Structure 1
């Protein structure tokens, strides 16, 4: 009893010690965060407010945007260390880079030199190409959007030699507006008279200059103030979310470590249970480990096959994009959607074959059911979701969010055809008696089953740990999926899938090894739910992310939830398949070691 009391006291002390840093940090967290953002009422005359460059893009093709510094402008300014980015910054481009422009609060500037640039011939061509394509740029000053043009084109009738001339803007006039001690607006005008002619392929020296003229605004709109407050509050909320997520993960790990020995002692107070055979009163386990096989093997095979197909599509689409066949960002062209649907239909041969092979490994029944489940497991939920989206778009008067159903009907029929074709080619490998080897030696089965290997506990831990690992990048990940990012979108998505697959595999190996050590061989469905549970947390965060962007607009929020459900459902199938095959590898390794010892 004394030992137990000391152990209980130690557990309480460990948990209190884990909670103290969280309580102390809660008091100090808010002032630290607010000090990172310059609030509007703190602005004084002469305060330097950085001007951030975002992106350049064609007026007719906003999808083909690039970073501002992809064009040979003046070099970027010194980066701001430990700068907290808001959600608005991420969804507006995620290319915010500090420039060398110095726009001090209420300080006039006239013809200040930004830099002297010696443009090479290839840089002149790059500027000329941007001017001919009517490329604009975006900047942000105090979280306020600023638009500008790279240059202008003078038509033949306006030139002396009747040639089209390209002129590069080298001087910009900034007109920021302020109300009391707050910046409430800004616009920029290019100085056409000082523009440089870059029509010829020749090196040229350009002095980029700028002027700043402050204007007083007597009646500012409320939208700007609300935008600034929302951005500052969002920065605090994001940092607080990451902080509390990390603290919760640490506290949960300490809690598991602290109470695990106590639970083992609690369950070990009962003697182990054995299965008793009636003949001769001898206690032994009737069947060996090979007799364990998954329940509902046809449905499990369909889930694993569809998950493998989704993973194959993730690999194929970037490959075709690198060849120029598929451009994921250009969603306006219907041929892109048709290409993806055709590719998915052709790849449906693979899951039909794989599902039939898997089901036929364990039983000779349910082959037709397995093929049909594979054909409808993903296509039917997606089609029904699109019907709901179109209905919601009609009721909410958002016609641009609707999706034509004709191509998806053809997609469903083509998917069924190729799935059935692949399923008929699958050959069952069932061998009677192989999975029911009888063991005649005594095998003690433990009475207790640790709570760590229960399905709800593994879903919580297996889903929460990868999600917390990626929590700090979830805004960028969703911005990439929604095509809101300009810089590094493909890299962000690639990094996301690599990290989450590695995390899922590691957790599956550790969890299955622990489960098999407890002589619990029911890992089949448990591994699928454990791996796929991460998609549930990602789905919930997607709703939170979209709510912040739309500011509570229920129509777009509901439509996004529907599309997000399709994406997270596919992610559930992918991670479930990855987790299952990782667990199956551990199970096969354990069986091989047992056979070698025997």
Structure 2
């Protein structure tokens, strides 16, 4: 249960770090490789965050296989991304494209992940494996028997909730997303990092607020299964990002052919997956904090 939420926490720290670096002028237009290098190194260095928090939360939830949890934490995002990258890069090799990365560069990244990211995640999880197996909650459960959940009308179903609540956070970044796609896939220079940072923090605030509100109404309906629901609800803007990418490709861009389609949809899918994990973590942590506050205010009789 902790894996997706915690790797999303690492991605959140990664995004904030990149935005801070952009605001101080690190990614100036003349140095296009600086952003890629910063992403790789920041991801490697923040691996300890996912290992520490994932290992601690997993143990507190009663998990016993901390090593398995740590390995999955280290692989849950890099492995799908690497599979997508291999497919896209192989297509680029077939077409003899200059966008294809050489084997030595790919090997260097794999070695960096193997000797830094993976061991750092395992080490951080190992450090917290012996913490108290008790989740920090303000009240003790009154019973171990799961409470029966009443039937709800179709318009309050989980899937409809997840789909509809992603619209509002997505509107916070819709305009900026268009400029990003135009800059990245239209071979233009993007320099509006201040506006991008503002849009990103608006996205975080709206995502947290919407997820808390939806979870509150869910609990009012006596549906106590908020763990994964809050994560999926908050992460749903990632699905809208992928949907907008389809619209952009066919109606706003001049891209065509197998090579351009592979690059566009391959990397946008990876970014959408990253946003799903990151925003899901934001929604889960904000909801968890909110519930601790409201249940902590309850006076036991």
The TM-score range, normalised by the shorter chain, is 0.7 to 0.9
Q: Which residue of 2 aligns with 1:408?
A: 109
1:103 maps to what in 2? Answer: none
2:217 and 2:285 map into 1 onto residues whose CA distance is: 16
Change (3 A) 1:437 1:469: closer
Name the structure 1 match of 2:208. 505
Equivalent position of 1:327 in the other structure: 27
The offset of 1:338, in angstroms, is 4.0
Aligned to 1:385: 84
Secondary structure, aligned partner of 1:405: helix
Q: What are the residue-to-residue correspondences of 1:207-222 with 2, within 5 Å?
A: none
Does the C-alpha gap of structure 1 residues 459 and 484 become closer, same or farther in structure 2, counting only changes over 3 Å? farther
Pairing partner for 1:572 from 276, 290, 296: 276
Q: How many residues align?
A: 293
Cα 1:506–1:552, aligned 2, differ >3 Å: closer, same or farther?
Answer: same
Q: Distance between the aligned counterparts of 1:575 and 1:526, measured in 2?
A: 13
Equivalent in the alignment of 1:308: 9
- The structure having more radius of gyration, on CA atoms, is 1
Counterpart position of 2:61: 362
TM-fit CA distance, 1:588: 1.6
Q: Which runs of 5 or more structure 2 residues have no equivalent in the other structure? A: none
Pairwise mapping of residues 270-349 of structure 1 onto structure 2 (< 5 A)? 300-323=1-24, 326-327=26-27, 329-330=29-30, 332-333=32-33, 337-349=36-48
What do the CA deviations read for 1:171-221 (whole angstroms, capped 9, x no partner)?
xxxxxxxxxxxxxxxxxxxxxxxxxxxxxxxxxxxxxxxxxxxxxxxxxxx
Aligned to 1:593: 297
Contact 1:462–1:533, Cα closer than 8 Å, also in 2: yes
- Answering whether residue 218 of structure 2 is matched by residue 515 of structure 1, we say yes
Instruction: Choose between structure 1 and 2: higher helix proportion.
Output: 2
Change (3 A) 1:474 1:431: closer
User: Conserved in 2, the CA contact under 8 Å of 1:353 and 1:422?
Assistant: yes
Aligned partners of 1:476 and 1:485 also within 8 Å:
no
- The 3 A distance-change label for structure 1 pair 446 and 577 is closer
Q: How far does residue 528 in structure 1 lie from its aligned partner after superposition?
A: 0.9
Q: Which structure dedicates a bigger proportion of its chain to strand?
A: 1
Note the alpha carbon deviations across 1:425-479, whole angstroms, 9 max, x for none: 12433149x9974459xx9956323445532112111212322454444322423
Please give the residue correspondences for 1:223-262 in structure 2 after superposition, counting only pairs within 5 Å: none
Instruction: Give the equivalent residue in structure 2 for 1:550.
Output: 254
RMSD, aligned CA: 2.9
Please state if 1:418 is matched with 2:123: no
How big is the shift at 1:373? 0.9
**Deviation, structure 1 residue 424:** 0.8
Distance 1:544 1:408, change over 3 A: farther
Distance in 1, Cα, partners of 2:263 & 2:164: 30
Shift of 1:483: 7.9
Runs of 5+ consecutive residues of structure 1 not aligned to the other structure: 1-299
User: Residue by residue, what CA displacement relative to the aligned partner does 1:92-148 show, whole Å, maximum 9, x if unpaired?
Assistant: xxxxxxxxxxxxxxxxxxxxxxxxxxxxxxxxxxxxxxxxxxxxxxxxxxxxxxxxx
- After TM superposition, list the pairs within 5 Å mapping 1:102-141 onto structure 2: none
Say which of 266, 270, 273 aligns to 1:562.
Answer: 266
Q: Is the 8 A contact 1:329 1:483 kept in 2?
A: no
Partners of 1:359 and 1:444 in 2: how far apart? 24
SS of the equivalent of 2:211 reads helix
Give CA-to-partner distance per residue, 1:224-264, whole Å, 9 cap, x none: xxxxxxxxxxxxxxxxxxxxxxxxxxxxxxxxxxxxxxxxx
Residue 455 in structure 1 maps to residue 158 in structure 2: yes
8 A contact 1:513–1:586 mirrored in 2: no
For normalisation by structure 2, the TM-score amounts to: 0.85
Deviations 1:367-388 (A, max 9, x none): 1121011110111112111111
Counterpart contact for 2:176–2:196, Cα < 8 Å? no
**Alignment TM-score, normalising by the size of structure 1:** 0.45
Whole-Å separation in 2 of the counterparts to 1:315 and 1:339: 12
Distance 1:430 1:577 in 2: 21
User: What residue number does 1:85 align with?
Assistant: none
Sort the Cα spacing of 1:492 and 1:319 in 2 relative to 1 into closer, same or farther, 3 A: closer
Deviation at residue 363 of structure 1 after TM alignment: 0.3
Q: Distance in 2 between matches of 1:408 and 1:487?
A: 26
Is residue 429 from structure 1 mapped to residue 122 from structure 2 by the alignment?
A: no
Q: Is the 8 A contact 1:338 1:407 kept in 2?
A: no
8 Å Cα contact 1:531/1:575 also seen in 2: yes
Say if 2:70 and 2:122, in contact at 8 Å, map to a contact too.
yes
CA contact (8 A) 2:29 2:190 kept: no
Task: Please give the alpha-carbon distance, in whole angstroms, between the structure 2 residues aligned to 1:328 and 1:528.
Answer: 35
Q: Give the corresponding residue for 1:466.
A: 169
| Whole-angstrom distance in 2 between the partners of 1:476 and 1:336 | 17
